[in-house]
């Protein structure tokens, strides 16, 4: 990401300050952010994997016993690399001093708030868990079009790029603003009932998920896919591949498990994928779409209840029915608007919207949720 | 034949709940719960409860199989720190009449995929306890 | 215990019902392809018969709904169409190679460590794919659900979509670009493709070591330079052959036998999520809790 590199260059070149939301979940889901500990240890290994790279260190024991192995969780290799890190920025044998919150479950894990290399006395990493920094402006141009006049959702011929930098990383109904962190964790728990028109059970579940720091998130726990609007809340973005020869649009996802899903534009009925499969509810639902002048309107239903459709943990049921509107207002901006209709969880239909930014010249970052699991 | 029709009814009932039974992030009561109930620690009976939420009511069955019974009422009070669960059913007894069971419990770990419900039940003059865990 | 037998009956019945739904292959609701698709390909003959050529994998058994072996379809410029014909119902390539070495393992120039690892893998079969790890090289073609070749002429690339397993995709760049200098190793590597007559030759480097290149764990290292040759010999048959150039695991370059994939007509990609209901949490995905990274697992 070129402008991240530019941003990093503007600061001392060795200090990593993350310019936008970090990878998968709020630090508070795994670490007790009300505490802070400091460790000094020798690096034994750098585990360079998504969703988070880890530095394994041996920390001398307080009593004179065997040194204890700790894992320091930093950031995804994608973000680290875009900020000048490599697998060897910190090497086995280096002594580092780490400050940050410890794991809630008492295991020997710490989230790296700052990481300092003792032989240079320089801070090589500063993690964060807060509001994204403003992105530098990229020159804009009019919406690129296909010969038949409808907007291109992908690059112009010969180019590449993807949609990233979501302007919002969790859903709130239009007309409401509540302070949240970059993962949808509310700053004030009293704001729970403002977020969307939830039925009582849904509001209570949403509040519970918020109070437990979103740690019950199936994507965090088991790499379940980011179905529904959630795929457009991921910083690793999406690409749309328009398969004109077969009237389909593939959504390729940079976040989650690097899955693909399909929107069908051939006028077919929104039915099951195989004979007799009509009722099988899916993570990504069944999507049909059509162009309404410059807006792609997609209709999706047939969702299961095994995932979260929003980073902040708003609930849904199998009755979820989404209508999505994609409008590329210019080369650099995609407006995404979604209407949520779910009589199982919400008291009425509601709408949220945000924008995605075109990141030119780059492919989707290579991210696999399941990478960092055994 | 009685056995065959019971099997078919059981199959139909199971099919109608099969899909929702594997959900876990929707309504907290949705799903299949396994456990037991009984008047004392040594006298236990199997308890399998399959529940579904349609947007207004919770419906379901208990102990799928030849002795399956329908859930008459099931409610969840998800108020914070309460998470009270209540369900009732009628089961045929040996005399050919109906026994009315009332279960009242509290849901533990309501946002975990393997949440559980523990509580007490009454059936006429019999009292006891139950525990079921979501699979 | 009665409770367990009820659970087992319920599970079996549900599995039975779901299996009924899933094994009905080819009876899609998609309309029959139009007679003329405007790219110079003759209309498909009306009478289906199983005439698919080549030694097929398990997918070959589904050939009952395949059209007879019409010739290789081509684009106006004469290049073979590797996926679904424009304007027609989409299809897939059913299972291809499962294990790359020839039947006689002595013909494979293993380095000694690689042969030992290969033999051990036949015993424990602890392959990453079953733990939902995206798996490149030939492993992508080894699931029963096959792959879809999505040709996107406008982008000058071909996507190979996994149907099963990780349900992800591989990109083959067809625009003549070289491999970049500083590749971060990935599960699928970096693939560039070009034509050798009617054969699509795909050259891939930049693999990591977190997956197996076939179902049997034929070893590889990050030095792997993998060359695949795809030839659509007729409408229903894709031949596949690979050359393994990996000085980290083999004493010289070697080439696999020729394998075949059979075309599955009228098959849409369906959703498959590997993580969906895996009940072996101790083997994958963090046991439903946040992973303790201070304890190292064997990958």
Q: Is residue C214 part of a domain?
A: yes
Burial class (CB in 10 A: 0-12, 13-18, 19+), B84: middle
Does this model's pTM top 0.90? My answer is: no
Whether C259 maps to a domain, the answer reads yes
* A6-10, A77-81, A89-93: least confident range: A6-10
Is there a contact between A75 and A20 (Cβ–Cβ < 8 Å)?
no
pLDDT bracket for residue C232 (50, 70, 90): very high
Confidence band (pLDDT; 50, 70, 90) for A48? confident
Residues 6 or more apart whose CB falls under 8 angstroms from that of A142 comprise A330, A331
Pairwise CB contact (< 8 Å): B113 & A218: yes
- A58–C contact, CB cutoff 8 A: no
Determine the straight-line distance between the first and last CA of chain B, rounded to whole angstroms: 33
Domain encompassing residue C214: 92-275
pLDDT at A131 over 90: no
User: By residue range, what is the domain housing residue B94?
Assistant: 2-134
Is C195 at the interface with chain B, CB within 8 A? Answer: no
Q: How high is the pLDDT of residue A27?
A: 83
Q: What is the per-residue pLDDT across A337-371, written as a single tens digit (0 to 9) for each? A: 999 999 999 999 999 999 999 999 989 988 888 77
Is the pLDDT assigned to residue C6 strictly greater than 60? no
pLDDT of B18 > 50? The answer is no
**Cβ of B14 and C14 within 8 Å?**
yes
The closest alpha carbon to B21, from B79, B61, B57, B77, belongs to B61
For chain A, what is the mean pLDDT? 86
What value does the mean pLDDT take over residues A292-297? 96
Q: Is residue C21 part of a domain?
A: no
CA pair distance C209, C181, nearest whole angstrom? 19
Number of domains in chain B: 1
Q: Which C positions 252-291 lie with beta carbon below 8 A of chain B?
A: 277, 288
Q: Is residue C290 in a domain?
A: no
Name every residue whose Cβ is closer than 8 Å to that of residue A318 and which is 6 or more positions away in sequence: A281, A303, A304, A305, A344, B19, B20, B23, B26
Task: Say whether C6 and B22 touch across the interface (CB within 8 A).
Answer: no
Each residue's pLDDT tens digit, C9-19: 444 444 444 44
Q: Is A45 helix (H, G, I), strand (E, B) or coil?
A: strand
Summarised one tens digit per residue, pLDDT across range A250-269 is 999 988 889 999 999 999 98
C51-96 pLDDT, tens digit per residue, is: 333 333 333 444 445 556 899 999 999 999 999 999 999 999 998 8
Per residue in A137-148, pLDDT (tens digit) is 689 999 999 999
Q: Which CATH number is B102's domain given?
A: 2.40.128
Domain membership of residue C38 (yes or no) is no
C30 found inside a domain? no
Scanning chain C, the segments in alpha helix (DSSP H) are: 2-22, 112-124
Which residues from chain B sit within 8 angstroms of residue A316, using beta carbons? 25-26
Instruction: Quote ipTM for the complex.
Output: 0.83
Instruction: Give the pLDDT score at C51.
Output: 34
Q: Which domains does chain A have, with CATH numbers?
A: 2-126 (2.40.50.140), 161-372 (no CATH)
Q: Identify the weakest region by mean pLDDT among A133-137, C194-198, C200-204.
A: A133-137
What DSSP state is assigned to residue C282?
Answer: G
| B36: pLDDT strictly greater than 90 | yes
Whether the CB-CB separation of C89 and C31 falls below 8 Å is answered with yes
Q: Does B72 touch chain A (CB under 8 A)?
A: no
For residue C59, tell me if it sits in a domain: no
Q: Using CA atoms, how far apart are residues B44 and B34, in angstroms rounded to an integer?
A: 13
Is A119 in contact with A95 (CB distance < 8 Å)?
yes
| Residue C201 to residue C40: CA distance in whole angstroms | 24
Q: Is A218 on the interface with B (CB under 8 A)?
A: yes
Q: Cβ contact (<8 Å) for C6 and B15?
A: no
Domain count, chain C: 1
Does the pLDDT of residue C3 top 70, yes or no? no
Partner A contacted by C181 (CB < 8 A): no
Say if residue C122 is exposed, middle or buried (CB neighbours under 10 Å; 0-12, 13-18, 19+): exposed
Given this model, what pLDDT does residue A28 score?
A: 84
Flag whether C22 is in a domain: no
């Amino acid at each position: 990401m070129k402008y991240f590199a530019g941003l990093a260059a503007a600061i001392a070149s060795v200090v990593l300050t993350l310019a936008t939301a970090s990878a998968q979940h709020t630090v508070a889901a795994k670490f007790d952010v009300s505490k802070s500990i400091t460790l000094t240890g020798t690096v034994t290994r750098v585990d360079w994997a998504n969703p988070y790279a880890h530095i394994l260190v041996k920390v001398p024991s307080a009593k004179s016993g065997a040194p204890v192995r700790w894992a320091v969780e930093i950031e995804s290799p994608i973000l680290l690399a875009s900020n000048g890190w490599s697998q060897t920025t910190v090497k086995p044998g280096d002594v580092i001093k780490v400050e940050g919150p410890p794991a809630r479950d008492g295991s020997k894990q710490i989230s790296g708030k700052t990481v300092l290399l003792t032989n240079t006395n320089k801070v090589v990493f500063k993690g964060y868990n807060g509001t994204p920094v403003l992105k530098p402006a990229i020159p804009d141009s009019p919406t690129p079009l296909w010969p038949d006049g409808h907007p291109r959702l992908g690059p112009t011929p010969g180019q590449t790029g993807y949609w990233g930098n979501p302007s919002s990383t969790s859903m709130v109904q239009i007309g409401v603003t509540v302070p949240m962190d970059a993962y949808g964790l509310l700053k004030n728990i009293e704001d729970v009932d403002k977020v969307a028109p939830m039925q009582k059970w849904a509001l209570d579940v949403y509040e519970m998920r918020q109070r437990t720091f979103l740690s019950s998130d199936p994507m965090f726990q088991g790499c379940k896919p980011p179905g529904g609007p959630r795929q457009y809340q991921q910083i690793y973005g999406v690409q749309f591949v328009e398969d004109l020869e077969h009237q389909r649009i593939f959504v390729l996802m940079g976040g989650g498990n690097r899955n693909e899903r399909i929107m069908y534009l051939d006028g077919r009925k929104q039915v099951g994928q195989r004979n007799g499969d009509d009722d099988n509810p899916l993570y990504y639902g069944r999507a049909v779409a059509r162009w309404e002048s410059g807006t792609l309107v997609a209709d999706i239903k047939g969702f299961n209840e095994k995932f979260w459709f929003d980073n902040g943990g708003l609930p849904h049921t199998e009755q979820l029915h989404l209508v999505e509107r994609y409008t590329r207002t210019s080369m650099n901006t995609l407006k995404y608007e979604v209407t949520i209709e779910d009589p199982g969880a919400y008291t009425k239909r509601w709408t949220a919207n945000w924008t995605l930014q075109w990141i030119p010249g780059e492919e989707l970052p290579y991210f696999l949720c399941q990478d960092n699991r055994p | 034949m009685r056995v065959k029709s019971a099997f078919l009814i059981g199959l139909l009932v199971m099919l109608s709940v099969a899909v929702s039974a594997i959900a876990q992030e929707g309504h907290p009561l949705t799903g299949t719960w396994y456990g037991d109930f009984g008047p004392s620690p040594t006298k236990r009976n199997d308890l399998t409860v399959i529940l579904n939420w349609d947007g207004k009511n919770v419906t379901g069955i208990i102990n799928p199989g030849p002795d399956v019974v329908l859930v008459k009422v099931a409610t969840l009070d998800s108020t914070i720190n309460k998470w009270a669960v209540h369900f009732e059913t009628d089961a045929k007894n040996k005399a050919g009449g109906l026994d009315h069971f009332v279960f009242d419990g509290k849901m533990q770990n309501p946002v975990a995929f393997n949440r559980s419900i523990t509580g007490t039940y009454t059936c006429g003059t019999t009292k006891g306890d139950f525990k079921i865990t979501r699979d | 215990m009665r409770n367990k037998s009820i659970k087992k009956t319920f599970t079996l019945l549900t599995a039975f019902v779901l299996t009924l739904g899933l094994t009905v292959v080819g009876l899609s609701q998609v309309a029959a392809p139009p007679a003329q698709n405007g790219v110079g390909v003759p209309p498909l003959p009306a009478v289906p018969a199983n005439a698919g050529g080549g030694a097929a994998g398990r997918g070959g058994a589904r050939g009952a709904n395949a059209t007879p072996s019409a010739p290789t379809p081509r684009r106006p410029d004469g290049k073979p169409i590797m996926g679904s014909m424009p304007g027609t119902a989409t299809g897939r390539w059913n299972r291809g190679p499962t294990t790359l070495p020839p039947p006689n393992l002595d013909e494979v120039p293993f380095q000694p460590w690689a042969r030992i690892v290969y033999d051990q893998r036949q015993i424990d079969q602890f392959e990453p794919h079953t733990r939902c790890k995206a798996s490149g090289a030939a492993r992508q073609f080894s699931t029963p659900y096959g792959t879809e070749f999505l040709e996107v002429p406008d982008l000058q690339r071909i996507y190979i979509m996994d149907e099963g397993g990780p349900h992800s995709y591989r990109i083959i760049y067809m625009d003549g670009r070289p491999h970049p200098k500083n590749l971060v190793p990935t599960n699928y590597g970096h693939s560039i493709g070009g034509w050798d007559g009617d054969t699509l030759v795909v050259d891939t480097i930049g693999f990591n070591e977190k997956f197996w290149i076939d179902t049997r764990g034929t070893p590889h290292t990050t030095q792997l330079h993998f060359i695949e040759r795809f030839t659509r010999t007729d409408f229903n048959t894709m031949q596949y052959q690979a050359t393994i150039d990996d000085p980290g695991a083999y004493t010289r370059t070697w080439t696999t036998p020729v394998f075949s994939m059979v075309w599955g007509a009228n098959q849409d990609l369906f959703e498959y999520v590997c993580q969906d209901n895996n009940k072996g949490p101790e083997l994958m995905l963090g046991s439903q809790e946040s992973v303790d990274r201070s304890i190292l697992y064997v990958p």
